[in-house]
Structure 1
Amino acid sequence: MALESMAYHMPDFRGRLIDAGRLELVRLLGAGGCGVVYLAVDHHAPSSSSSKATPVRRAVKIIRKVDTPDIEYQRREIDLHSLVSGIPHVLPLHYAFEDEHYFYLVTEYCETDLYKVLFESQTFHGNDELVRSAFLQILDAVHACHQKRVFHRDLKPENILCSADGSDVYIADFGLATQNSRSATFGCGSAPYLSPVLIKATESVGQEFSQQAYSTKRADVWALGIILVNMITGLGPWEKAVTEDPRFCEHLLDDGYLERVIPASRGVIQVLKKVFRINPQSRPSLEQLRQSIVNLDNLFPARKEVETSTPALSSVLVAGVVPQEVVVDVEEDEERITDPGEFYEYDDDSDEEHAYLYIGAVDDTADSDSECTSVDESGPATPSSFPVPLNGSEFVEGLEKALLPLTDAGKPVEPASEVSILARLDLLVLE
């Protein structure tokens, strides 16, 4: 539906020759917030010159130009993708060009994307080493991008292209990427993969935490954690990291939530607990996350773990994949922060040198002038066996207790009965 919707707003490019006849657009591959992706044949590539040679296939992302000054955000995607194109497991961008109405990004063609491999073919199911290898490829590519001060901000299976067997993966779609290590653009990305501080919602944990800048690096770490859950289980731990989501609330209140609903090894669960810490500063670095994954004996639960699992966990193992649709609002403008020190004290993470296209569904209400070029936000299913949501008074009391250990010991804390949930969240030590 989203693909058809976006294609409806763009011309049909099938059969067209572009770039002075070099590229012939063959068929539509996917659609995103303000563009479409086509399979193309490169008639000027060496192996295409002979009639007996196999034609060289490319993917061409076509982006409709917007008015100034927003057009600079579109140029930024090209610039940042070009900057990281030579990194292993980043989708190679061969070149880009433009005409009066469109930008054209010519990239390597990949057979499929991680979303299809995970949620349609289930290629990764039960294969520890395939999951480990693919996830480390993603993690290493993100790490290398961070070293070049490129922070993706929209990591999700739809934006990770791969071979049909899932053995080779490539990060794609840098439409939301930024070189700011701190950003004030909330709600930028896909709902299931946003960390709490990113989500713009009336009662989201993120907006209750802070109205200031957040760490784009730490946000990518959170998204990688969700992707790891997807790869191992075919599920997502929650729909959105907001207090209105009962599954996320349970995670905040119950340290055993992940063990109960995520069918993964105990080692993976311990890694995820660190990645999904509410305080971004306490999450592992990419180097630490990598070492943790390498050190794990297994990613999927061992037979003994399955046999001793709770009924809820067993039912999830059998349930498999269920479709789900989630939509997230996206902020239009990113605040350029020239002096992040005005908001935060830098920690050891602040030294970026040492810290280390199938495009998904479309939000039909998205403004084409927005800097955010992906507003998708479909995601994996969440466990269906979740218990009845807590009532309001129990939730407030429990959440205050859960968040109390994260408050700054140097600040006075009133008795729980006299401190509202919003006040408690304001006491958190942020990035």
Structure 2
Amino acid sequence: MSIDHNLNGVTINGYQIVKQIGTGAYGLVYLAIDLSTGSRVAIKAVSKINSKKVSKPSELLSTKLVDLFSADPVLENLNTLNLKKLANCDIEKDIPPCPFLKEVCIHLRLHEHPNVISIHQILDFKYCIFIVMDYFDEGDLFVNIVDRQVYTNSISLIKTVFTQLVDVISYCHSRGVYHCDIKPENIMVAQHGALLTIGDFGLAVESEFINSNICIGSSYYMPPERLISVNHNLKSDVEYPASSGDLWSLTIILINLTCMRNPWMKASELDLTFKAYLEKPEILKEILPISEELYQILILCLIEDPFKRISLFELRDLVINCPKFTNEGPLSIPETPEEMIKYTQCLVPAYSTTSSIDSIKSVYFESPGESPSHSPVFSNMETLYKQRQLHNHNHQYQNEPSNVLAFLGGNHLVCQCDNNRMKDLKSNYSIMTNVSFNMNGTDFDQLQAGY
């Protein structure tokens, strides 16, 4: 039987492959049907090959799978890994022999949150592991911003989904996980754009601080401290807070949602737009169609020194209370007080109660079958406030004022732009699919933009 790279028609432990929908350096992603329920799932095949001689293990994995299924299109009786044990394992102690499981272990510790993609099953095979996850037929956030333009007409919808992102990243941080690769391609969309779910923890770290020589993330969304070799205002012998890097990425996504573009290609002094911004932050109002209120939020987050950025909690409050995002069009029309009430509650699992699970399902999922395997509870701002206190206690190093003026003072350079340069800056950058990478010293791994 002839099988192409899509593995169409192949069956793996009761899941029938429909087609390949994604690929990366180490993984292949397929759309499949659960033959027992008829529901659609995404299956990510993660290669066990970990050889420096292979530049892209996923290509070798694809070849091996095609050869295997050409002989027999049915693969059954694969061992199922224990998700609970994986979630509770000691990564430092147990994971080094199985580096391909590190991402899974971190993901499983978080997938009880309704805004984290649920993992339903992990199948073990000699060439790879097959991770069975939620499938989202509305695609990722990139598609919904750029192609479908879901968020162009509603301040309320933007605030709804952005507070979801802030809440889920705050939850990750409260569990000691820092994503380090937040971008639209790693965020899946459901309920006509109203529900966002994050995945791909392949670059996530559990260290509160990241060494300045570690460059991980995706260039459009990477903070300047991850590009230390070209940003001379930052010290190269300092460990920087990972949480501030995630906040930077979320702020760029806020610009994506409100302006449908990126402010620069990368936060590097070699990027003309970013360099101009450092010299004159007001340039944001010239190259982006943003309101003064949104501008004031952005400059509190997009500070080159990560120790001086505001917190996620402050960002959440500021966005909720921002009356308008633009000066013209639908995003310039302020919300009514009634519309703003919905943001007084946030979704974070409460650790001391198991009530109100049904309310979560009714808010976020159309049917019980779509809910994650571990449902959290619906907690109010009191829970968030407690996390805020914990955050402040654990981040006493942030004793500098968070106001951008404290960083720039009154001595920043006046931007000397000629007409051609200003034309280039105003043209800006539309949102483009961005490839993740991990560069630690001399190691450089190209990773999948997506799952």
Bucket of the pairwise TM-score, normalised by the shorter protein? 0.5 to 0.7
Instruction: Tell me if 1:13 matches 2:19.
Output: no
Instruction: Tell me if 1:263 matches 2:289.
Output: yes
- Aligned residue for 1:30? 22
TM-score (norm 2): 0.63
Partners of 2:242 and 2:277 in 1: CA distance: 23
- Aligned residue for 2:41? 58
Partners of 1:162 and 1:305 in 2: CA distance: 21
SS of residue matched to 1:187: strand
Displacement after TM superposition at 1:323 (Å) = 6.3
Q: Structure 2 regions of 5+ residues with no counterpart?
A: 52-94, 333-418
Instruction: Tell me if 1:165 matches 2:199.
Output: no
Alpha-carbon RMSD across the aligned residues, in angstroms, is 3.2
- Aligned residue for 1:233? 259
Q: Structure 1 regions of 5+ residues with no counterpart?
A: 1-9, 49-54, 335-365, 378-431
| Aligned counterparts, 1:342-421, within 5 A | 370=445, 374=447, 376=449
- Aligned residue for 2:438? 330
Structure 1 residue aligned with 2:276, among 250, 256, 261? 250
- Aligned residue for 1:342? none
Partners of 1:320 and 1:123 in 2: CA distance: 21
Partners of 1:304 and 1:77 in 2: CA distance: 40
Displacement after TM superposition at 1:163 (Å) = 2.0
Does the 8 A contact of 1:197 with 1:205 survive in 2?
no
One-letter amino acid of the structure 1 residue matched with residue 439 of structure 2: E
Partners of 1:304 and 1:27 in 2: CA distance: 39
Partners of 1:180 and 1:212 in 2: CA distance: 14
Greater fraction of residues in strand: 2
| Aligned counterparts, 1:312-323, within 5 A | 322=430
Partners of 2:198 and 2:21 in 1: CA distance: 17
- Aligned residue for 1:67? 50
Partners of 2:8 and 2:228 in 1: CA distance: 38
Displacement after TM superposition at 1:278 (Å) = 1.1
Partners of 1:328 and 1:63 in 2: CA distance: 16
Distance 1:103 1:303, change over 3 A: closer
Structure 2 residue aligned with 1:210, among 223, 236, 259? 236
Partners of 1:183 and 1:321 in 2: CA distance: 28
Q: Greater relative contact order (Cα 8 A, min sep 6): structure 1 or 2?
A: 1
Distance 1:223 1:77, change over 3 A: same
| Aligned counterparts, 1:90-101, within 5 A | 90-101=116-127
One-letter amino acid of the structure 2 residue matched with residue 57 of structure 1: R
Partners of 1:27 and 1:164 in 2: CA distance: 23
The size of the alignment, in residue pairs, is 313
One-letter amino acid of the structure 1 residue matched with residue 128 of structure 2: Y
Identity value in percent:
25
SS of residue matched to 2:438: coil
- Aligned residue for 1:130? 157
One-letter amino acid of the structure 2 residue matched with residue 65 of structure 1: K
Instruction: Tell me if 1:195 matches 2:217.
Output: no
Distance 1:326 1:92, change over 3 A: closer
Does the 8 A contact of 1:60 with 1:105 survive in 2?
yes
SS of residue matched to 2:120: strand
Displacement after TM superposition at 1:113 (Å) = 0.4
SS of residue matched to 1:273: helix
- Aligned residue for 1:387? none
Q: Which one is further off, 251-260 or 154-163?
A: 251-260
Partners of 1:204 and 1:321 in 2: CA distance: 21
TM-score (norm 1): 0.66
Does the 8 A contact of 1:23 with 1:43 survive in 2?
yes
Displacement after TM superposition at 1:375 (Å) = 5.8
- Aligned residue for 2:166? 139
- Aligned residue for 1:276? 302
